[in-house]
Structure 1
Amino acid sequence: MIRVLIVDDDSFIRESLKVLLGLDTGIEVAGTAGDGQEALTLLDTLPDGADVVLMDIRMPGCDGVDGTRLIKQAHPQTAVLMLTTFDDDEYIIEALRAGASGYLLKNIPPDRIIQGIKTVHEGNMLIHPEIARKLAGFLKPSVREEAPQAEPFASYGLTPSEQAVVSAIAEGLTNREIAARLFLSEGTVKNYITDILSKLGVRDRTQIAILYLKSKQRS
């Protein structure tokens, strides 16, 4: 059972998401909150905590970015999945840097929200393809400095299979989806990603996607 905390300043959205998630027998709504600080306070008092926080990005008081940072500092084992719209581009990198495990758009089908919760609960990064394509265009300087810049993407020594995995990661695919597309096992995909992280000198899937998208812009 995945315990989920819903955070949104709109009470109608909170209740709608609560009803939606309640339809899945593998998900339990642990509670709801109106902003990031309220979510942290609730997490601190819940006996069993929460596995995933479904977090709105724009909220009065403590917004989604600050809320994510507070939650990840106090409850690092809890995954945070952001909900946003296309005009929230300026928050994306900051939320990911704060520790968010993924970004979804509010206009996606309801079943994609449920699948997204399960994806980040499994430890995977999830970035909506539309957002993944935007990442390279508005990277902040501090983020640019974190990714290798000394040589073109093609010169990192990735095998063709590893390059296919990188491309799929940049599209926002999960390990399971990558495995299905490339006719591999999930274990093999995980091994590829470990090697890719080492070769590129980056820390996580998000930086793999960012580096790939920046290389595409230069080519």
Structure 2
Amino acid sequence: MRDWMFVAPLLAKHYKVVTFDGRGAGKSPDPVGDVNCVEDLKRLLVQLNIHRTTLIGHSMGGQIATDFSLEYPEYVSELILIAPALSGFHYSSEFVKYMNKVSSAAPDIDKMIEISQSAPSYRVVQTSPHKKLTEQMLRHHIERTFHWPDFELIWPKPPAAERLGELTAKTLLMVGTEELPDNIRVADYFQKHSDAHIVEILGADHMVTLTHPKDLYRNIVNFIEG
């Protein structure tokens, strides 16, 4: 939920806002067995008696939000994605090598953080006042993964990359101009295969939620009200 600590209060001035930690993140329990993030989100909305919402997701949260919108379109009035991942998308060999390099540094957490933060997608936040917060969030995530039991992430089939044309929710995708090439490619893929409105956030990297909350806020409100 720390990812939203600057954006959520701005939106809460005008809307009811709910943020949550997915399984294995923040204060939520560790993932066990088969984990279906889409069904977790549906159970949360049902529990909160929310039957129609603007759904906002960042990074992997964007992947969850996209899959949810395809599986349960009746729940989503607007879909807002911020540098989202995408199930079924073919990521480059360079991106896979980068992720493997981070993993291979385990269990040296400091080394894993150093490698992870060396990517271009963290260059802006590394020179911002939020550098320490970003590292704290990453350290928390890595430390928790060392204690996770065996589990498997379950995603809807077919994957979202093959179904973007089925999106019925009005969709906004925002991505920083200082992102990894693969994240830019995901935005381009949405533009080609859906009716999503694409907005570039000038001078932002992957942690745009921390460094450019007012830009996100303005675009979100304009999109909803427009």
Normalising by structure 2, report the TM-score.
0.37
Q: Which has the higher helix share?
A: 1
Higher RCO structure, 1 or 2 (CA under 8 Å, sep 6+): 2
